[in-house]
Amino acid sequence: MTRRALPALFLAAGAKAASPKKQAAALEAIKKADRDFCEATKARGLDGWMSFFAGDATAFPAGKPFISGREKLREFYAGMFATPEFSLTWEPVKADMAASADLGYTIGVAEVKYRGKDGLMVQRPTKYLTVWKKQAGGSWKVAADLGN
């Protein structure tokens, strides 16, 4: 997705604009959801990670086709979480919201740690983009996740 395509996506999604107060509250809610997502992942590993994905979420693995749907995502991410001493932590540094206040994104920095095949600990800084979609019950779920 190009830099120009993301704003267009949010403009199209925001056909009916929410009030500025509602939009500001929704923006704070996705930042909180992103932080809660990280805490759940630290506490419960793969189960915590998957608890934040929408049923039709999509991931963008490097060099592979898109992966969509919670079951296929769980299958894909299981290997990552099975890596010895694997941990993933992150913090959002930017967020934005569609005018409709039901679709938004967070951008942030992350750190991946794991024990390599040589037995040494590996620490890798990374960045991410997570697209959030408001669910019928009012909670926020990950619609798309991309890390590098």
Average pLDDT on 40-44 reads 97
Q: Determine which helix (DSSP H) or strand (DSSP E) holds 86, and give its type and residue range.
A: none
Average pLDDT on 115-135 reads 95
Is 70 exceeded by the pLDDT of residue 5?
Answer: no
Predicted local distance difference test score (pLDDT) of residue 71:
96
Residues 6+ apart with CB under 8 A from 85: 113, 114, 115, 121
Within-domain flag for 51: yes
Residues in the chain: 148
Is 90 exceeded by the pLDDT of residue 20?
Answer: no
Within-domain flag for 101: yes
Asked whether the beta carbons of 78 and 70 are under 8 A apart, the reply is: no
d(CA 72, CA 70): 6
- pLDDT (tens digit per residue) in 74-106: 999 999 999 989 999 999 999 999 998 999 999
> Which residue(s) pair with 108 in the sheet?
92, 128
Predicted local distance difference test score (pLDDT) of residue 15:
52
DSSP letter at 19 equals P
Within-domain flag for 1: no
Within-domain flag for 97: yes
Look up the domain containing 125 and give its range. 17-147
How many folded domains does the chain comprise? Answer: 1
Report the CATH number at residue 118.
Answer: 3.10.450.50
d(CA 118, CA 93): 33
